[in-house]
Structure 1
Amino acid sequence: MKRLTIADIADAAGVSTGAVSYALNGKPGVSAATRERVLRIADSMGWRPSTAARALTRSRSGAIGLIVDRPAQVLGIEPFFMQLVSGIEAALRADPSTALMLAVTDDRDAEIETYRRWWAERRVDGVIVVDLHENDSRAGLLAEIGLPAVALGHPQSAEVPCVWSDDEGPMAEVVGYLAALGHRRIARVAGPAQFSHTLRRNEAFARAAETHQLEWSKTLYGDYSGESGARETRRLLSERNRATAIIFDNDVMALAAMAAAQEMGISVPEQLSVLSWDDSALCRLVRPAVTAVDRHITQHGVLAIETLNEVLAVGTAEHRRVPAPVLMPRASTAQAPN
């Protein structure tokens, strides 16, 4: 029999999982009438809080942790994390007693040590884990020390619930869109190769290139910084049989690429089409505006908090998938040059 979750109660009551969490834990954020209705429905469905969840509720620190293992200079300019934090803060707004604790570390060992310290000192109630690697060891560690967690990325195990979005379908759509514009030489400048989402996109890109029988396709790697985007763009555009379209794994690299192309006398989109995997205000404000994939990053943050609230309330939660990403065609892509 499937275990009853906070999401089941939310569906039956017609409210959000966050509202159910507040009601079950006696926290502010819902009206008295809603609290009474949620408790009545939960009782009728046979809900019983786990011992671990009750213990966590009695000793809340009032903080949710987020550790980012990225260079500080990259984090400071990348809209992805601004949008993610915006979603997290929006979800936390209903509960003024809970705040976000953000830390930036230099490497994975420092990140793991920070998790241990936070939990030993009870400085956080739970954490949001980002930038999953293949066979990521952090899930096992967090389960071992008992630190409640939610990960952003494709599910890898049942130890930590994940909030994730599809990479394969959007990549197939992006390559198909460029192929329909006549592009036969398409390159991709990805993020760090060790990230699991990079590997999934690599595989999807290779399959799509084969499906559309491209003349050639290749993937180079950057670190999400403008410097790496410009550097790999110059490398691609210096080739004799150069790419006519480049897909970038974030908006910062895409914008830097357009500047690098201009330096080399290559016009966008007449001679080179540019596409960003992440959408942001930057993509809409520059000229030409950048074609991008809207992955609903703010919604990732909202769902991460709702899922973590469920873990804190009942001790477990299921993986959640955000709405499907949407391709947003703009002026940086056009018919391939003859």
Structure 2
Amino acid sequence: MKDIARRAGVSESAVSFALNDRPGVSEATRRRVRQVADQLGWRASTAARALSGEGAATVGLVLARPARTLGVESFFLQFVSGIQEVLSERHLGLLFRVVAGAEEECAVYRGWWAEQRVDGVIVVDPQIGDPRPALLDSLGLPAVVVGGRDVNGEPRAAAPYPVISSVRVDDAAAMGAVVEYLAGLGHRRVVHVAGLPGLAHTTRRIASLRACAARLGMPGVRSVTTDYSEGQGAEATRLALAGTEPPTAIIYDNDVMAVAGAGVALEMGLTVPRDLSVVAWEDSALCRATHPRLTALDRDATAFGRRAAEELVSLLGGGPARDLPQPMPQLVVRDSTAAPRG
């Protein structure tokens, strides 16, 4: 600051005001100080900002999922890409951790808060009876919950905490659209290969599947939960197709499991879609590149990440907590679905 002040011909306090966007200096002085700062290669010190109470200039993201599933999860990669786009524009860092479960995730939040490591967090995979929002509220740590919060299995529309927003999609309506499409083709035996049990969106999708099946007269409908991995998706498919009344259609909660499931069907001598229709929850290049191309629910995961990051930046700037519904995923019909045989 002394070097900048000397070269710009102003006081050190004027440099501080200019670089921290505080009132007290003219716009001409502010521009001159910033120009000199750029010439000298000045960057804000994260440690100094934290010690002075100005924040860490870092956002946290914790994922409580098996680490082996991350490299092939196209939605998550695009989602993080969208987050990073927004943070980079604002010169904010992203601190990322993978943990074993919610208890360890809560411990990470406590540690980050105590060490002033992050200014706020993006929370993914909301759970039924989720302990994280109340903890973050007690710490006063701004957060955006991606997927919405649930109370007794029902979506909570209002934001009950002053520094916690939610960004969500209507999983129930999306599942309803898929089931109605398959019913319209004539399918009555449908298996849903779901993701992790206990997650709010898994619970919503399973409940919606059951409700739609009852309404449409589809008794042979059920869900099985997995860890989202290729291996468990393949095993769930193998068990379903080997049963006494195998499904004529399978809905998978991600693209990786859908591709693995289609491969299992081929190994068992079945043809997609003549013998088995396949639907993937998340559309991706994988769905479009495989043969046959997979029918899938499409949403812009990168835009979803950007929206979550933008909302967190708004909270950090003093904006109100909000509940923000996002556009429902749209079903893209391709070659992997058709009317059942017979």
Bin the TM-score by the shorter chain. 0.7 to 0.9
Distance 2:112 2:327 in 1: 32
Match of 1:158, as an amino acid?
A: P
Is 1:88 matched up with 2:79?
no
1:283 aligns with 2:277: no
Provide the rounded CA distance (Å) in 2 between the counterparts of 1:205 and 1:56.
51
Distance 1:108 1:266, change over 3 A: same
Q: Name the counterpart of 2:138.
A: 144
- Do structure 1's residue 131 and structure 2's residue 133 form an aligned pair? no
Q: 1:116 aligns with which of 110, 113, 132?
A: 110
Cα RMSD, aligned residues only:
1.9
Runs of 4+ in 1 over 6 A off after TM superposition: none
Query: In the aligned structure 2, how far is the partner of 1:231 from the partner of 1:174?
Result: 23
The structure 2 residue matched to 1:245, chosen from 225, 246, 249, is 249
2:99 equivalent among 105, 110, 114: 105
Q: Say if 2:195 and 2:227, in contact at 8 Å, map to a contact too.
A: yes
The residue correspondences of 1:1-338 to structure 2 (distance < 5 A) are 26=21, 59-95=54-90, 97-155=91-149, 156=156, 157-159=159-161, 160-314=164-318, 316-338=320-342
The amino acid across from 1:218 in the alignment is R
The farther-off stretch of 290-299 and 61-70 is 290-299
- What runs of 5+ residues in structure 2 fail to find an aligned partner? 1-19, 28-49, 150-155
The letter of the residue matching 1:72 is A
Change (3 A) 1:115 1:181: same
1:84 counterpart letter in structure 2: F
Correspondence for 1:13: none
CA distance in 1, matches of 2:21, 2:171: 39
In 2, distance between residues paired with 1:254 and 1:331? 13
Q: In structure 2, do the counterparts of structure 1 residues 57 and 89 end up closer, same or farther at CA, with 3 Å as the change threshold?
A: farther
The answer for the alignment partner of 1:3 in structure 2 is none
Residues 275 and 56 (structure 1), Cα distance of their counterparts in 2 relative to 1, 3 Å cut: farther
Equivalent position SS for 2:190: strand
TM superposition score normalised by structure 2: 0.80
Q: How many equivalent residue pairs?
A: 287
Deviation at 1:144, TM superposition (A): 0.6
Native 8 Å contact 2:55 2:119 kept in 1: yes
Whether contact under 8 Å (1:261, 1:267) holds in the other structure is yes
Partners of 1:165 and 1:295 within 8 A in 2: no
Contact 1:69 1:108 in 2 (8 A): yes
**Per-residue deviation, 1:315:** 5.2
- Report the TM-score, using the length of structure 1 for normalisation: 0.81
The CA deviation string for residues 123-181 of structure 1, in whole angstroms up to 9 with x for no partner, is: 11100001111121100001111111110112345222100001121111101111111
Higher relative contact order (CA 8 A, sep 6+): 1
Summarize deviations over 1:247-304 as a string: whole Å, max 9, x none.
Answer: 0111111111011111111111110000011111111111111111113322221111
Which deviations, in whole Å up to 9, do the C-alpha atoms of 1:9-29 show, x marking residues without a partner?
Answer: xxxxxxxxxxxxxxxx849xx
Asked whether the 8 Å contact 2:66–2:227 carries over to 1, the reply is no
Distance 1:315 1:121, change over 3 A: farther
Structure 2 vs 1, CA of residues 57 and 142 (structure 1 numbering), >3 Å: closer, same or farther?
A: farther
- Verify the 8 A CA contact 1:131 1:152 in the aligned structure 2: yes
Q: Which has the larger radius of gyration?
A: 2
Quick one: distance in 2 between partners of 1:150 and 1:214? 38
Partner secondary structure for residue 317 of structure 2? helix
SS in 2 for 1:193: coil
Task: Name the SS for the 2:106 alignment partner.
Answer: helix
- Measure the CA separation in 1 of the matches of 2:180 and 2:286: 24
Note the C-alpha offset of 1:63. 0.9
Measured against aligned partners, the alpha-carbon deviations of 1:27-63 in whole angstroms (never above 9, x if no partner) come to 9xxxx9xxxxxxxxxxxxxxxxxxxxxx999512111
What are the superposed Cα offsets for residues 73-132 of structure 1, whole Å, 9 maximum, x if unpaired?
Answer: 11122112101101101222321x201111111222221111111111111110000111
Once the 2 structures are TM-superposed, how far is the Cα of residue 325 of structure 1 from its aligned partner? 1.1
